Structure 1
């Protein structure tokens, strides 16, 4: 691993970085590598502990694991950086169920998939790094390519996946429903997960958009999601967070009017720095009277606040991901004929809403899950062009991944929390300093928050 890192670091400041990086093809593949894992024999460690009190620092461990053999259509990537997503938090606290359930199910699919069914799970659904090797049949990528990985793992052996790969019955989220994820020194991905690394970004910046930017793109922009158009009023929950920070940027970039919902003045200021003008501090509203009863008066008050900001308009689109806590008010405030598009349930999976506001006002609820390769590629292209920017607020070394996940679990973060895997420091990997210089302020606006 040391030789691999030395070869990659030789590209820093080199006249021809690609030539230096191509040298990884001549290096032997390590027999093992360090990865962040959860362990099958520890899945009961939080039994009886309330969700809020479960601590990822206790379950996420860095350990040496064997390097798996590559199969057809796969690539082995030296991971320079990764990032924390909510699925890593869910994995670390074994909710809503242990991910070893996913690995066992995947392992029954084929002899090749059996590799994933192990007593440990290497986690992580983001990565930026260097291709080390490719398996049989891979022609698009070669050793030395600088790449980012999106997290859709799909078999594509079923007809259902060939119109939209997200509908493939064997669609999985890499590093969550598969093994060998991105929070590690090496990662195994399918070649159709790879995309070019944006040349003006550092490793930790390039690693951070993959899951959340692609998810927000499908949810808002794609014809599979809300089909956002110019002038749409888009209500965005958690608008300064890992997912909402990209939704806010995509709305602004696409000519829509974001109404950003946040939980503190500091987060409100971040939204304004992104260019959003309409911001609501949700700490002024309590949508539940108790554990079982929602407060419809607060729904109305919240809707009135939205209309105050928009000049009397209700949201054309509600960008939903908190779930149980906010779903009732989301259905209520969407305009007549509007769309509530949901991709997650970070506050709870069982949603309650008043169906009268849905059916009598001809609203739509659209489920949206990650993105297909085309959508992920288009979302990454916007980053590479400098139209959408990373939202990294802080980074940690691989050894402190548990702390990084703990902060996301406690919502004590802004934007995305990055993790350096092989990268020895922040700031490495920039190949286009001129483009970076034009967007330095936007790239760093979440830093230190």
Structure 2
């Protein structure tokens, strides 16, 4: 890989030289192993340690198919789906790979006894398969994580509806936590050139997810002046939702867990903040079997005190079970609850009277289609939305990086350097970077 890295670091290597570079038949990657899926059996979720299950090892380069590309990965990032993969919850991802393997000859390449993980990347195109015309070797790119086949009619209005829709690096193999990744060409987007490799890699999954869930007509369809309740407003998803609310003229009501996180969202420009640790909400009783509507009322009162008596138009919901009943309750009549992820539990409970009799809507949202992803990346490139990178690890430290996210010891996004030998590389537009440097560095070191 050294010749490839040298060509990238040179900064002026022409595309034809990249096309002539030899790609090794093996490459370094972060993997989980099929024969270890039971290694945490009987262990509590929080005690499951990704450092034990994530391996950094050499794996074989797959065969490149039509419409696909090999990308030299300079940097990637950690998402909750990598944590879930590494602790084999709620299911082993090898089931996803097995189903993909039965779908076609090309799908069979993914059905291996190891899984290369990771759903973000920034890097340089090394080679493209037959039929790829938009991208060529040498192009500097980021990748979104939607993998689709589009052979059925269902996905041709919204590609998220493709029956073969998968999340790359989670439900497919050959993900981004590696020195080389294999992606479909329609996952690629231009790298924002005022950002470093690790900064450019970090928004991908969460930025696109937040865009669809809050801004897109497929999600919240947010408009100017909307009051938007954002749970975990300084986190991976919430940090982008807060930016989209501010950038789109809405009024974010940011829920955070401590004063340090409150300071982050205020520095982003948010004025209405609810600190959960100060309010000490008890939405559920101690054994988690019954909710307390009086606590929903207390949340609603806190919101009205901030908004001048107005209720919430859109709830940006991703914690799930812990908060969903409260989210439904505090939404205004005719308002919308958009939901994804459910990091505190998938089995939601709410009082349907407050939904049904008040004509509220629950809208499910999952990642984003190519157009939505392109628009989200375009806003990053324009400097209107910024990465939320707090720190970076090396690929060899990927287990620790995943553990930090698993235990919520991070803010924003955690990056991973792959081929990049150090942080701070890859910037081509220094003027734009200088204009936005404070926002780019807002989460750094936190």
TM-score, normalised with respect to structure 2: 0.98
1:365 is paired with a residue of what secondary structure? strand
TM superposition shift of 1:20: 4.5
Aligned to 2:17: 23
CA distance in 2, matches of 1:276, 1:403: 32
1:292 is paired with a residue of what secondary structure? coil
The one of 414, 422, 436 equivalent to 1:425 is 422
User: Any idea what the Cα deviations from partners look like across 1:341-397, whole Å, max 9, x if unmatched?
Assistant: 001111111111111110011100000000000000000000000000000000000
TM superposition shift of 1:22: 4.9
2:303 is paired with a residue of what secondary structure? helix
Aligned to 1:289: 285
| 1:376 partnered with 2:373 | yes
**Which runs of structure 2 are paired with 1:346-357 in the superposition (5 Å)?**
346-357=343-354
Aligned to 1:151: 145
CA distance in 2, matches of 1:163, 1:276: 35
Contact 1:8 / 1:20 at 8 angstroms: preserved in 2? no
Aligned to 2:129: 135
Aligned to 1:10: 10
User: Any idea what the Cα deviations from partners look like across 1:100-120, whole Å, max 9, x if unmatched?
Assistant: 000000000001110000000
* Structure 1 gap segments, 5+ residues each: 12-16
TM superposition shift of 1:23: 2.4
User: Any idea what the Cα deviations from partners look like across 1:104-160, whole Å, max 9, x if unmatched?
Assistant: 000000011100000000000000000000000000000000000000000000000
1:439 is paired with a residue of what secondary structure? helix
Contact 1:122 / 1:181 at 8 angstroms: preserved in 2? yes
CA distance in 2, matches of 1:95, 1:294: 26
The one of 187, 197, 210 equivalent to 1:216 is 210
**Which runs of structure 2 are paired with 1:93-108 in the superposition (5 Å)?**
93-108=87-102
Aligned to 1:14: none
TM superposition shift of 1:297: 1.1
* Structure 2 gap segments, 5+ residues each: none
**Which runs of structure 2 are paired with 1:80-99 in the superposition (5 Å)?**
80-99=74-93
| 1:178 partnered with 2:172 | yes
The one of 264, 269, 284 equivalent to 2:263 is 269
User: Any idea what the Cα deviations from partners look like across 1:76-123, whole Å, max 9, x if unmatched?
Assistant: 000000000010011011011000000000000001110000000000
Moved more, 125-134 or 24-33: 24-33
CA distance in 2, matches of 1:201, 1:416: 15
TM superposition shift of 1:55: 1.1
Aligned to 1:206: 200
Aligned to 1:334: 331
Aligned residue pairs, count: 443
TM superposition shift of 1:262: 0.6
| 1:195 partnered with 2:219 | no
The one of 42, 45, 55 equivalent to 1:51 is 45
Output the aligned Cα RMSD.
0.7
The one of 432, 435, 438 equivalent to 1:438 is 435
CA distance in 1, matches of 2:385, 2:228: 17
The one of 409, 412, 415 equivalent to 2:409 is 412
CA distance in 1, matches of 2:32, 2:250: 41
The one of 48, 67, 84 equivalent to 2:61 is 67
